[in-house]
């Protein structure tokens, strides 16, 4: 039986614009690709009970998350004609305005990337065991609820 290849999706802290640009640039040599679609999740300064979120600290059940991401990845490739897919999620503290989730899908044509990206992001938000503690400027916090 072939072992499952688990790709580490976690990045320590915020996902930088340089990391995103470098990921895109690496695909220039893949000339069979004609379309990319990207989702960037950014930490919002939400107002909760009169307090403003200043950052989110992300934690995860890492082994379980890698297993679940493998399942989501396999399901996505079986449903959509993709060339490749990359998913990165922050762990640790990410200030408001910074990127915490980066999903990048590629295909020969645009149709599959639009559909696949929506599918992948929705599954990640609903199924991946990643948890966010929303911090307020006064040192208080609340646990984030994904919607």
Which contacts qualify for 118-123: CB closer than 8 Å, 24 or more apart? 119/76, 119/79, 119/80, 120/39, 120/72, 120/76, 120/85, 120/87, 121/39, 121/41, 123/72, 123/75, 123/76
Q: HSE, CB side, 13 Å, CA atoms: give it for residue 29.
A: 3
25 assigned to some structural domain? yes
Query: 105 forms bridges with which residues in the sheet?
Result: 37, 85
Give residue 3's pLDDT.
45
139 assigned to some structural domain? yes
84 assigned to some structural domain? yes
Whole-prediction pTM: 0.91
As for how many domains the chain has, the answer is 1
Task: Encode pLDDT of 68-97 as tens digits.
Answer: 999 999 999 999 999 999 999 999 999 999
Q: Is the pLDDT of residue 47 over 50?
A: yes
Token reading at 36: 């990319």
By C-alpha distance, which of 72, 88, 75 is closest to 24? Answer: 88
* Residues of the domain holding 103: 10-143
Query: What percentage of the chain reaches a pLDDT higher than 70?
Result: 95
Task: Encode pLDDT of 4-45 as tens digits.
Answer: 566 789 999 999 999 999 999 998 888 889 999 999 999 999
Average predicted confidence (pLDDT) for the chain? 92
Tell me, what CATH number does 65's domain have?
3.90.1170.40
72 assigned to some structural domain? yes
48 assigned to some structural domain? yes
């Amino acid at each position: 039986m072939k072992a499952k290849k688990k790709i580490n999706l976690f990045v320590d802290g915020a996902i930088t614009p340089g990391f995103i640009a470098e990921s895109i640039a690496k695909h220039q040599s893949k000339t069979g690709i004609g379309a990319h679609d990207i989702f960037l999740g950014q930490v919002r300064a939400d107002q909760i009970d009169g307090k403003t979120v200043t950052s989110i600290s992300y934690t995860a059940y890492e082994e379980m998350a890698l297993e679940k991401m493998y399942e989501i990845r396999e399901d996505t490739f079986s449903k959509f004609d993709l060339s490749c897919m990359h998913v990165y999620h922050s762990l640790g503290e990410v200030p408001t305005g910074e990127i915490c989730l980066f999903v990048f899908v590629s295909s020969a044509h645009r149709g599959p990337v639009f559909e696949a990206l929506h599918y992948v992001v929705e599954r990640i938000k609903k199924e991946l065991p990643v948890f966010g503690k929303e911090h307020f400027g006064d040192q208080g916090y609340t646990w984030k609820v994904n919607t």
